[in-house]
Amino acid sequence: DIQMTQSPSSLSASVGGRVTLTCRASQTISKSLNWYQQKPGKAPKLLIYGASNLATGVPSRFTGSGSGTHFTLTITSLQPEDFATYYCQQSFVFPPSFGQGTKLEIK
Protein backbone atom coordinates (compact mmCIF):
# COMPACT_ATOMS: atom_id res chain seq x y z
CA ASP A 1 0.00 0.00 0.00
CA ILE A 2 1.14 3.57 -0.63
CA GLN A 3 1.90 5.52 2.53
CA MET A 4 0.88 9.16 2.66
CA THR A 5 2.73 11.43 5.08
CA GLN A 6 1.49 14.89 5.95
CA SER A 7 3.46 17.67 7.59
CA PRO A 8 3.24 19.36 9.89
CA SER A 9 0.80 17.41 12.04
CA SER A 10 -0.49 20.71 13.39
CA LEU A 11 0.13 24.40 12.92
CA SER A 12 -1.19 27.71 14.14
CA ALA A 13 -1.96 30.68 11.96
CA SER A 14 -3.79 33.97 12.12
CA VAL A 15 -6.94 35.05 10.35
CA GLY A 16 -5.85 36.73 7.16
CA GLY A 17 -2.63 34.78 7.01
CA ARG A 18 -1.29 32.17 4.62
CA VAL A 19 -0.31 28.56 5.23
CA THR A 20 1.12 25.72 3.20
CA LEU A 21 0.44 22.10 4.08
CA THR A 22 2.55 19.28 2.67
CA CYS A 23 1.72 15.72 1.65
CA ARG A 24 4.27 13.17 0.49
CA ALA A 25 3.64 9.77 -1.08
CA SER A 26 5.86 6.75 -0.51
CA GLN A 27 6.00 6.22 -4.29
CA THR A 28 5.05 8.26 -7.30
CA ILE A 29 1.34 8.88 -7.75
CA SER A 30 1.47 11.23 -10.74
CA LYS A 31 -1.16 13.90 -9.98
CA SER A 32 -3.69 11.54 -8.36
CA LEU A 33 -3.81 13.43 -5.09
CA ASN A 34 -6.92 14.78 -3.40
CA TRP A 35 -7.40 17.09 -0.41
CA TYR A 36 -10.22 17.13 2.12
CA GLN A 37 -11.22 19.48 4.92
CA GLN A 38 -12.81 18.07 8.05
CA LYS A 39 -14.37 19.99 10.91
CA PRO A 40 -15.08 18.40 14.30
CA GLY A 41 -18.04 16.07 14.23
CA LYS A 42 -18.49 16.43 10.49
CA ALA A 43 -17.73 14.39 7.41
CA PRO A 44 -14.74 15.33 5.28
CA LYS A 45 -15.36 17.72 2.43
CA LEU A 46 -13.58 17.45 -0.90
CA LEU A 47 -11.48 20.55 -1.61
CA ILE A 48 -9.03 19.64 -4.38
CA TYR A 49 -8.88 16.69 -6.78
CA GLY A 50 -6.21 15.70 -9.24
CA ALA A 51 -3.64 17.68 -7.25
CA SER A 52 -4.77 21.10 -8.43
CA ASN A 53 -8.45 21.11 -9.44
CA LEU A 54 -10.79 23.01 -7.18
CA ALA A 55 -13.93 21.08 -6.22
CA THR A 56 -17.29 22.71 -6.84
CA GLY A 57 -18.00 25.61 -4.53
CA VAL A 58 -14.52 25.72 -2.96
CA PRO A 59 -13.13 29.26 -2.63
CA SER A 60 -10.18 30.26 -4.77
CA ARG A 61 -8.04 30.96 -1.71
CA PHE A 62 -7.37 27.20 -1.70
CA THR A 63 -4.65 26.11 -4.12
CA GLY A 64 -3.22 22.66 -4.67
CA SER A 65 -0.02 21.82 -6.48
CA GLY A 66 2.54 19.09 -6.97
CA SER A 67 3.08 15.84 -8.78
CA GLY A 68 4.98 12.61 -8.31
CA THR A 69 5.55 12.28 -4.58
CA HIS A 70 5.38 15.85 -3.25
CA PHE A 71 2.19 17.89 -2.96
CA THR A 72 1.11 21.08 -1.24
CA LEU A 73 -2.13 22.75 -0.25
CA THR A 74 -1.88 26.50 0.19
CA ILE A 75 -4.55 28.58 1.84
CA THR A 76 -4.30 32.34 1.54
CA SER A 77 -6.25 35.02 3.34
CA LEU A 78 -7.28 32.55 6.08
CA GLN A 79 -10.86 32.82 7.20
CA PRO A 80 -12.26 31.67 10.56
CA GLU A 81 -14.07 28.80 8.82
CA ASP A 82 -10.78 27.45 7.42
CA PHE A 83 -9.54 26.25 10.80
CA ALA A 84 -10.01 22.52 10.55
CA THR A 85 -8.12 19.31 9.87
CA TYR A 86 -6.91 18.64 6.34
CA TYR A 87 -6.30 15.20 4.82
CA CYS A 88 -4.64 14.18 1.60
CA GLN A 89 -5.60 10.98 -0.23
CA GLN A 90 -3.99 9.18 -3.15
CA SER A 91 -6.14 7.66 -5.87
CA PHE A 92 -3.33 6.42 -8.12
CA VAL A 93 -3.23 2.82 -7.04
CA PHE A 94 -5.47 0.47 -5.14
CA PRO A 95 -6.17 0.68 -2.26
CA PRO A 96 -6.84 4.38 -1.78
CA SER A 97 -4.97 5.74 1.21
CA PHE A 98 -5.09 8.86 3.36
CA GLY A 99 -2.50 10.87 5.20
CA GLN A 100 -2.68 11.26 8.97
CA GLY A 101 -3.95 14.82 8.73
CA THR A 102 -2.79 18.35 9.50
CA LYS A 103 -4.73 20.27 12.13
CA LEU A 104 -4.88 24.00 11.43
CA GLU A 105 -5.56 26.06 14.53
CA ILE A 106 -6.13 29.74 15.14
CA LYS A 107 -3.18 31.62 16.60
Partner 1 sequence: QVTLKESGPALVKPTQTLTLTCSFSGFSLTTDGMCLSWIRQPPGKALEWLARIDWAGDKYYSTSLGTRLTISRDTSKNQVVLTMTNLDPVDTATYFCAREETRGYFDSWGQGILVTVSS
Query: Distance between CA 93 and CA 73 in Å, rounded?
Result: 21
Q: Does 49 bind partner 1 (CB under 8 A)?
A: yes
Query: Distance between CA 97 and CA 107 in Å, rounded?
Result: 30
Nearer to partner 1, 69 or 85 (CB): 85
Could you tell me how many helices (H) and strands (E) the chain has, helices first? 0, 11
Enumerate residues 65-104 that contact partner 1 by CB under 8 A: 87, 89, 91-92, 94-101
Give contact residues for partner 1 (rule: CB under 8 A).
Answer: 1, 32, 34, 36, 42-46, 49-50, 55, 87, 89, 91-92, 94-101
